[in-house]
Chains A and B, each alone.
Chain A
Amino acid sequence: MNQTGIQTINFGDVWHVMAPEVVLIIGGFLMLVFDLLVSKETSRRVSPWIGIGVLLAAIVLVFRNFGVVAEQGAGEISNYLYVLDDFGNVFKLIFAGGTALALLMSVDFFRHNKEIKVAEYSYLLIFATTGAFVMASALDMITLFVGLELLSIASYILVAIRRNNAKSTEGAMKYLVVGGIATAFILYGMSFIYGVTGETNIAIGAQMIMQMWTEYKPLLVTGFLLMFIGLSVKISLVPFHMWAPDTYEGASNPITAFLAVVSKAAGFAMIFRTFLFGFGQVFNELYLYVVILAALTMVVGNIAALSQKNIKRLLAYSSVAQAGYLLIPLGTLGKGSSASSIWLAVGEMAFYLIGYLFMTMGAFAILTAVTRKAGNESVEAFRGLYQRNPFQAVAMAIFLLSMAGMPITAGFFGKFYIFLGTINTGMYWLGGLLFLTSAIAFYYYFGVLRAIFMKDSAQPLADAKVEMPVSLQVIVFIGLIGTIGLGVFPDLVLDSLNSLKWFG
């Protein structure tokens, strides 16, 4: 608590803790300058690849950080303003990996949409990822807020980037308005916490929260709820999910995938760390809000998906439902916040997010190829895909079955593992609801499978063959390896996750 001393920060310290972030920021600005210096054509061609290169460099540095944490324990700068630990590292891998795949998916998108400003698009994605990185590692509310805004504002622009597309504009407008309100909620909530504790740092403020709990409980709970509601919007929990279908539908496929994976994962990182660090001691009085929202999200998300005819809206509701599953681990902490419960909960969430990354990216890659061929985004666009391109049909089936939670896929083991967590803390009904709503979800996932395998193609077969560019094929392969690999050998990843020093 002796934060009175003035610290001097040198670049060595910063590099020690924030190396991937530094690389991303420098890379982003370099891309910005690069765009100004070279011809338009070159910029269009090269920018996305520079972006992918920057992200890969960040991934390498994150791996280096795993080693650093394993060797020296967690690091921090500026009085726990920003920390280096394995919790952040795992999430950063998900963010950087997800963005790299989204950018790879965009290469094909640029080829077919000449009006897109490629360089802008690429460095905005890099900056958005930086924001996500900050959300996973900052402990100071102001810094967290800056990270959140960096991610959000870049995302608003990215959704709106197809300026001549009415749906894109509509989606972006909704996202901007709802997202803006959410941001205001978060900030308002933070101000309550600051008002009571006098600290912007949640880790340091946590002790004050505990001491002040009985005296200022209404204020602290209000602060918690405001922050939670704001963040719920970001990760699309029911009843704050209404923007998601419209925005997912309006955005281009790579951006939708980015929102579904990276933006959502970032929200979860921030929720988990903020609430665990700040409210961990009093979470047994707050977890019910989390659990209720998780249950509501699973039920409403899956039921709303039943009637969707547009494949992107269907996946949007599916991703709403997945957010409900992902929130369960946090909810379970209310009944067991021993160290082992926390490791289990983080492990569950990380494992599911990694699996979710693979299946979502793979599904969106195939969706891109199929809907372009059909010229529309309805589920019917998948008609007879099995006859038109068996490989894509089978791959899509595997991704959808994984989302539905069929065995030997990542999605199943992820759910199974989350379920173990609910049993461990005695929240059986929540675990039961998880699988019950998944069984309801069979209905709409199999609706897509029915179009793929059962129905005949709407056009003559010779005209309906679906071509897939190499970049998308690569994504599908990565997705398949991840989805099946995590399903068949989950112990490989889970054992490494379990051996991490999550919070130092």
Chain B
Amino acid sequence: MSTMYLSILILLPLLGALLTLFIPRTAPSQARAVAMIATFLPLLVTGIVYANFDGQNSGLQFTESYEWIHIGHVLGDKALTLSWSLGVDGLSIPFVLLTAIVSFLGVIASKSVQHRVKEYFFWYLLLVTGLYGCFLALDLFLFFLFLELTLIPMYFLIGIWGGERKSAVATKFLVYRGIASVGILLAFVGLAFQAAGVTGEISMNITAITEAFAKASQDLITPDWKHAIFLVLLLAILIEEAFFPFHTWLPDTHEQAPPAISMVVGGVLMKVGAYVLFRVGVGVLPDAIQHFATLIAVIGVINIVYAAMIALVQKDWRRLLAFSAISHMGIVLLGVAAMNQSGLQGAVFMTISSGLLSGLLFFLIGAIKERTGTTMIAGLGGLSKPMPVLSGFLLAGALGSLGLPGMSGFISEILAFMGAFAVFPVLAAIGTLGVILAAVYLLWAMQRTTYGPTTAQLEGVQDARAIEYVPMVVFIALIILIGVYPAVIGDLVNQTISSFVTRVGG
């Protein structure tokens, strides 16, 4: 079996991006076709990887590693090695699947882009390259490189194809995420430097760092160091994941970005920070997480409740969904703070589930905006008559989002709260308020959007086109699949999470 699958995964969209540059400006449909193929082939490759993935193995699989930069004698006698090394384990494979699915469906959702199409898909494919890279990279330097690679395309995707405030919001996005990535880099280098004290060479390989931290005694890497690095990392993740009080850029971004990009942002890009929290926070610094568990849980609960309350008063669907996503990601923090099997599982489930639900809901809102020209809740109403299908899926998405049993949101919330109740009963109880509020703001918005009299100008608008069934059905199918048969993700992540949890116990 070839071991190049993961490099191919990253290179295919990159190749597609370069290919779009050679397509004449006058042939936008060709650019679209290239983008379709350059996201569909990776989806197939991801399928192969998934099919051959050994769920019983808690280690990394499909690994490949090529030395890239090697500098002897950087700090005294220590050498610096950075490598192109990729791999997947139970933690990353759900995220890779998510990337593959959302990025392909995003091309379908990009149908409404009619202006500078070739450039659009160039930046889009570059963004997808960066996203695959983030979840596949085992070298933190490489990870950082891919993280920055998502920044530049996003700036242009919002800035050129966005709404009326596109320019300001693109800059806001850039500055917030730019500062977040600085924090992430600082934390990574701090980790590598501390690990170098143990191993004798500077490497940013996550496996090497994890092992060095696991075996280092208290004298080699002092708890103070771990705490300091973790706080920097946590701050960066709070900005990256748009947690309160650094959240203002996310609603703006969702509001101004083109619908397909909103989908990718909500579906995948916003999950990168959570992935870093799992991989580096939980994986490398479990004792620091335990030390700051209360702080993390409190931030989580504040976000669950605050974002849900803000969502109540939103007038625009896109902003409402953005706050809803923040509220959901607060549950992730709560689950991580619990640091037990159930809490961590719930956190991973919630991240994936929120990705799928955001993808679906932003797709639907984009489709509704294309037809009605608005996403303002007040401007809509009675949609179920002219568009029964879209309204139906919107209702399904909303129900999934508020945690209806049988859908992915439910199992995620149950697991996360179960984990949290065991450790922080009071905080977890307050957190459940967010779940109740979610039902209120989502159902209220649904009621105002789909029921009631249909306004005159909305009558006669077309319902879902055939091609639009693809994303809707795929998303809903996955959401229900996870809800009914959680083992699809559970079997993948269980082994890895167990290995994290046992380390904490020891």
CB-based contact A443/B174 at 8 Å:
yes
Partner of A450 from the list B167, B175, B202 (CB cut-off 8 Å) is B167
A91 interface residue (CB < 8 Å to B): no
Contact mask for chain A residues 394-408; partner B; CB cutoff 8 A; 1 contact, 0 none: 000000010000111
CB-based contact B144/A407 at 8 Å:
yes
Please give the number of chain B residues whose Cβ is less than 8 angstroms from any Cβ of chain A in the complex. Answer: 35
Cα separation A494 to B76 with both chains bound (whole Å) = 14
Residue of B nearest to A338 (CB): B76
CB-based contact B175/A420 at 8 Å:
no
Contact mask for chain A residues 440-457; partner B; CB cutoff 8 A; 1 contact, 0 none: 101100110110011000
A423 interface residue (CB < 8 Å to B): yes
> If the complex has contacts A406-B148, A450-B159, are A491 and B71 also in contact, measured as CB distance less than 8 A?
yes
Residue of B nearest to A420 (CB): B74
Q: Which of B177-220 contact A (CB under 8 A)?
A: 178-179, 181-182, 185-186, 189-190, 193, 202
CB-based contact A491/B171 at 8 Å:
no
CB-based contact A401/B152 at 8 Å:
yes
> If the complex has contacts A419-B189, A423-B189, are A407 and B145 also in contact, measured as CB distance less than 8 A?
yes
Cα separation A498 to B79 with both chains bound (whole Å) = 11
B456 interface residue (CB < 8 Å to A): no
Task: Return A337 CB to nearest CB of chain B, in Å.
Answer: 13
A344 interface residue (CB < 8 Å to B): yes
CB-based contact A439/B69 at 8 Å:
no
Residue of B nearest to A394 (CB): B21
CB-based contact B76/A340 at 8 Å:
yes
Contact mask for chain B residues 368-386; partner A; CB cutoff 8 A; 1 contact, 0 none: 0000000000000000000
B73 interface residue (CB < 8 Å to A): yes
Task: Return A343 CB to nearest CB of chain B, in Å.
Answer: 8
Partner of A442 from the list B74, B167, B175 (CB cut-off 8 Å) is B175
CB-based contact A436/B182 at 8 Å:
yes
> If the complex has contacts A446-B155, A450-B167, A494-B71, are A439 and B189 also in contact, measured as CB distance less than 8 A?
no
> If the complex has contacts A340-B76, A442-B174, A446-B174, are A490 and B71 also in contact, measured as CB distance less than 8 A?
yes
CB-based contact B75/A344 at 8 Å:
yes
Partner of B69 from the list A453, A490, A498 (CB cut-off 8 Å) is A490
Provide the main secondary structure of the chain B interface: helix
Cα separation A118 to B190 with both chains bound (whole Å) = 53
A463 interface residue (CB < 8 Å to B): no
B363 interface residue (CB < 8 Å to A): no
Residue of A nearest to B194 (CB): A423
CB-based contact A443/B171 at 8 Å:
yes
Cα separation A498 to B78 with both chains bound (whole Å) = 12
Cα separation A447 to B174 with both chains bound (whole Å) = 11
Residue of A nearest to B228 (CB): A428
CB-based contact B71/A436 at 8 Å:
no
Total contacts A to B, CB within 8 angstroms? Answer: 80
B160 interface residue (CB < 8 Å to A): yes
B47 interface residue (CB < 8 Å to A): no
Task: Return B464 CB to nearest CB of chain A, in Å.
Answer: 33
CB-based contact A498/B72 at 8 Å:
yes
A495 interface residue (CB < 8 Å to B): yes
B156 interface residue (CB < 8 Å to A): yes
Contact mask for chain A residues 339-373; partner B; CB cutoff 8 A; 1 contact, 0 none: 01001100000000000000000000000000000
CB-based contact A454/B159 at 8 Å:
yes
User: What B residues does A424 contact at CB under 8 A?
Assistant: 75, 193
A432 interface residue (CB < 8 Å to B): yes
> If the complex has contacts A453-B160, A491-B69, A495-B72, are A407 and B189 also in contact, measured as CB distance less than 8 A?
no
Residue of A nearest to B21 (CB): A390
Partner of B175 from the list A343, A344, A407, A439 (CB cut-off 8 Å) is A439
Cα separation A265 to B109 with both chains bound (whole Å) = 52
CB-based contact B74/A344 at 8 Å:
yes
Task: Return B474 CB to nearest CB of chain A, in Å.
Answer: 33
Partner of A438 from the list B156, B170, B182, B189 (CB cut-off 8 Å) is B182
> If the complex has contacts A407-B145, A491-B71, A498-B73, are A423 and B160 also in contact, measured as CB distance less than 8 A?
no
Q: Which of B223-272 contact A (CB under 8 A)?
A: none
> If the complex has contacts A407-B145, A454-B156, A454-B167, are A435 and B186 also in contact, measured as CB distance less than 8 A?
yes
Q: Which of A417-476 contact B (CB under 8 A)?
A: 419-420, 423-424, 428, 431-432, 435-436, 438-440, 442-443, 446-447, 449-450, 453-454
User: What A residues does B151 contact at CB under 8 A?
Assistant: 406
A289 interface residue (CB < 8 Å to B): no
A489 interface residue (CB < 8 Å to B): yes
Task: Return B248 CB to nearest CB of chain A, in Å.
Answer: 16
B80 interface residue (CB < 8 Å to A): yes
Task: Return A350 CB to nearest CB of chain B, in Å.
Answer: 14
CB-based contact B71/A495 at 8 Å:
yes
B315 interface residue (CB < 8 Å to A): no
User: What A residues does B165 contact at CB under 8 A?
Assistant: none
B70 interface residue (CB < 8 Å to A): yes
Residue of A nearest to B202 (CB): A420
Cα separation A340 to B149 with both chains bound (whole Å) = 34
> If the complex has contacts A340-B75, A420-B80, A446-B174, are A408 and B145 also in contact, measured as CB distance less than 8 A?
yes
> If the complex has contacts A442-B178, A446-B155, A490-B69, are A432 and B186 also in contact, measured as CB distance less than 8 A?
yes
Task: Return B147 CB to nearest CB of chain A, in Å.
Answer: 9
Task: Return A389 CB to nearest CB of chain B, in Å.
Answer: 15
CB-based contact B167/A420 at 8 Å:
no
Task: Return A264 CB to nearest CB of chain B, in Å.
Answer: 25
Residue of A nearest to B167 (CB): A450
Cα separation A343 to B71 with both chains bound (whole Å) = 13
CB-based contact B179/A420 at 8 Å:
no
> If the complex has contacts A420-B75, A490-B69, A498-B72, are A406 and B152 also in contact, measured as CB distance less than 8 A?
yes
User: What B residues does A408 contact at CB under 8 A?
Assistant: 145
Cα separation A483 to B197 with both chains bound (whole Å) = 32
User: What A residues does B70 contact at CB under 8 A?
Assistant: 491
B contacts, CB < 8 Å to A: 69-77, 80, 144-145, 148-149, 151-152, 155-156, 159-160, 167, 170-171, 174-175, 178-179, 181-182, 185-186, 189-190, 193, 202
A contacts, CB < 8 Å to B: 338, 340, 343-344, 401, 406-408, 416, 419-420, 423-424, 428, 431-432, 435-436, 438-440, 442-443, 446-447, 449-450, 453-454, 489-491, 494-495, 498
Given A343-B73, A491-B70, A498-B74, 9 more contacts at CB 8 Å?
A: A401-B152, A407-B144, A420-B75, A428-B186, A438-B182, A443-B174, A450-B167, A489-B69, A495-B72
A-B contact pairs, 12 of them (CB 8 A): A340-B77, A406-B148, A407-B144, A407-B145, A419-B189, A420-B75, A428-B186, A436-B179, A439-B179, A454-B156, A494-B71, A498-B74
